[in-house]
């Protein structure tokens, strides 16, 4: 099968999980346990391996082309599988052209600046893939659920009104418009895990000594705010899903399926960029011929 056809297929598959306009989006309409039409896990593994290989080829071209950058944003509740999706989907990637940044609670240096500052510093270079494991979206999620975090930001009080979240959605939409207009292609993933599956994964972390390190007491505290988070996620997607930077709401109760959707989405996105290896000019060709002779 030709590369173009495989890219088209990946795009068609990923499309079912893509939200471009959010007004009517409801999180409850998406089943976290959904596995689409794929019911064979071992077949999914084969398809994923193929996707990983395609991504490696496409990354090589992205790097050589050196005009586009790709930004992948991952958001999710704890234990939804962000880390493992990143690890598996990117397993064939050349580390030289890919950087992962995890955004945790802001440092005192971060708090000296506006909230986009720390993320802007870590945007990918042209030719590279940048991965944000959490991102500026936390500013309308955890910060919304915990108003005490907003207080720490030292924003002049007269600028914090009832419309603060609407203002932030608008700023984020505009920021992403700016990035996409500058050749930074954006894929945003919300890994949608169920409350039941999260409990199962937390128990695994508690019961398996090799996974104990992954557990944090804060995880349980945040789980108690489940409904507030779900509401914040839904509203965030409704307000920041756009044509130029859509959200991909990925069922996350089955990790093998999550990886498949993420891989297909990235293959589809990078494949749509019209990448090509730079053409050699006649003068440069002469120089190459000369170099060959002199070897
Ligand atoms: P895991 O899924 O493995 O738990 P994680 O992404 O949750 O990974 P942690 O180190 O557990 O990583 O948590 C990072 C924490 O930092 C999250 O609870 C997140 O909400 C918080 N955080 C990120 N950005 C901000 C922000 N701007 N303000 C406040 N807290 C933030
Ligand atoms: Mg965590």
Residue range 185-203: mean pLDDT, rounded = 98
Task: State if residue 110 touches ligand 1 by the CB under 6 angstroms criterion.
Answer: no
Cα of 72 vs centre of ligand 1, distance in Å, is: 17
pTM: 0.96
The more confident residue out of 217 and 76 is: 76
What is the residue-averaged pLDDT of the chain? Answer: 96
Residue range 237-265: mean pLDDT, rounded = 97
Which residue puts its alpha carbon closest to atom 10 of ligand 1? 104
Which residue puts its alpha carbon closest to atom 4 of ligand 1? 78
* Ligand 1 binding pocket mutation candidate from 73, 85, 105 (most atoms within 8 A of CB): 105
**pLDDT value at 25 more than 80:** yes
**Integer angstrom CA distances of residue 47 from 9, 81, 143, 195, 264:** 12, 19, 38, 28, 9
User: Quick one: which ligand is closest to 105's CA?
Assistant: 1
Q: What per-residue confidence (pLDDT) applies to 99?
A: 97
Q: What is the CA radius of gyration of the chain?
A: 21
Cα of 77 vs centre of ligand 2, distance in Å, is: 8
User: Quick one: which ligand is closest to 138's CA?
Assistant: 1
Task: State if residue 142 touches ligand 1 by the CB under 6 angstroms criterion.
Answer: yes
Cα of 12 vs centre of ligand 1, distance in Å, is: 32
The more confident residue out of 40 and 175 is: 175
Task: State if residue 78 touches ligand 1 by the CB under 6 angstroms criterion.
Answer: yes
Which residue puts its alpha carbon closest to atom 1 of ligand 1? 78
**pLDDT value at 208 more than 80:** yes
User: Quick one: which ligand is closest to 82's CA?
Assistant: 1
Give the pLDDT band of residue 231 (cuts 50, 70, 90).
very high
Give the pLDDT band of residue 84 (cuts 50, 70, 90).
very high
Cα of 103 vs centre of ligand 2, distance in Å, is: 11
What are the E-state strand segments in the chain?
Answer: 18-19, 69-76, 98-102, 129-133, 184-192, 247-251
Which residue puts its alpha carbon closest to atom 29 of ligand 1? 105
Q: What per-residue confidence (pLDDT) applies to 148?
A: 96
The dihedral through the CA atoms of 42, 2, 37, 59 has a sign that is positive
Cβ within 8 Å of residue 3, ≥6 positions away: 54, 57, 271
Fold of 3-294: Rossmann fold (3.40.50)
Inter-residue contact 213 to 196 (CB < 8 Å): no
Q: How far is 32 from 23, CA to CA, in rounded Å? A: 20
Give the pLDDT band of residue 3 (cuts 50, 70, 90).
confident
Instruction: Pull the structure tokens for residue 54.
Output: 């395609």
Q: What angle do CA 160, 163, 168 make, to 5 degrees?
A: 80
Q: What per-residue confidence (pLDDT) applies to 113?
A: 98
- Greatest alpha-carbon pair distance for the chain in Å reads 72
Task: Indicate the SS3 state at residue 127.
Answer: coil
Q: What per-residue confidence (pLDDT) applies to 43?
A: 87
**pLDDT value at 23 more than 90:** no
Cβ within 8 Å of residue 126, ≥6 positions away: 66, 67, 68, 69, 183
Inter-residue contact 25 to 234 (CB < 8 Å): yes
Q: What per-residue confidence (pLDDT) applies to 26?
A: 97
Q: How far is 250 from 35, CA to CA, in rounded Å? A: 10
Q: How far is 267 from 287, CA to CA, in rounded Å? A: 35
Give the pLDDT band of residue 247 (cuts 50, 70, 90).
very high
What are the E-state strand segments in 167-255?
Answer: 184-192, 247-251
Strands 247-251 and 184-192: parallel
* Ligand 1 binding pocket mutation candidate from 87, 117, 138, 219 (most atoms within 8 A of CB): 138
Q: What per-residue confidence (pLDDT) applies to 263?
A: 96
The more confident residue out of 224 and 276 is: 224
What is the residue extent of each domain of the chain? Answer: 3-294
Q: How far is 105 from 89, CA to CA, in rounded Å? A: 26
Q: How far is 236 from 261, CA to CA, in rounded Å? A: 21
Q: What percent of the chain has pLDDT over 90?
A: 91
Residue range 64-78: mean pLDDT, rounded = 97
pLDDT in tens, 29-62: 999 999 998 888 888 999 999 999 999 999 999 9
Which residue puts its alpha carbon closest to atom 12 of ligand 1? 104
């Amino acid at each position: 099968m030709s590369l173009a056809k495989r890219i088209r297929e990946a795009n068609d598959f990923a499309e079912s999980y893509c939200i471009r306009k959010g007004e009517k989006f409801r999180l409850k309409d998406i089943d976290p346990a959904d596995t689409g039409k794929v019911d064979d896990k071992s077949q999914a593994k084969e398809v994923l391996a193929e996707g990983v290989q395609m991504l490696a080829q496409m990354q090589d071209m992205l790097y050589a082309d050196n005009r586009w950058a790709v930004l992948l944003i991952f958001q999710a509740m704890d234990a939804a599988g962000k880390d493992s999706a990143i690890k598996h989907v990117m397993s064939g990637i050349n580390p030289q052209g890919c950087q992962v940044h995890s955004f945790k609670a802001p440092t005192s240096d971060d708090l000296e600046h506006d909230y986009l500052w720390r993320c802007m510093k870590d945007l990918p270079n042209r030719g590279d893939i940048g991965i944000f494991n959490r991102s500026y979206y936390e500013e309308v999620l955890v910060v919304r659920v915990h108003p005490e975090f907003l207080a720490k930001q030292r924003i002049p009080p007269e600028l914090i009104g009832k419309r603060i979240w609407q203002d932030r959605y608008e700023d984020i939409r505009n920021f992403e418009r700016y990035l996409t207009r500058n050749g930074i292609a954006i894929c945003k993933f919300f890994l949608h895990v169920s409350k039941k599956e999260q409990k199962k994964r937390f128990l695994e972390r508690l019961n398996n000594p090799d996974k104990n390190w992954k557990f944090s007491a804060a995880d349980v505290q945040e789980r108690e705010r489940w409904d507030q988070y779900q509401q914040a996620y839904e509203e965030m997607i409704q307000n920041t899903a756009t044509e130029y930077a859509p959200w991909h709401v990925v069922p996350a109760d089955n990790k093998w399926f999550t990886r498949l959707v993420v891989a297909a989405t990235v293959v589809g996105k990078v494949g749509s960029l019209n990448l090509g290896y730079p053409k050699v000019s006649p003068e440069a060709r002469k120089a190459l011929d000369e170099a060959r002779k002199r070897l």
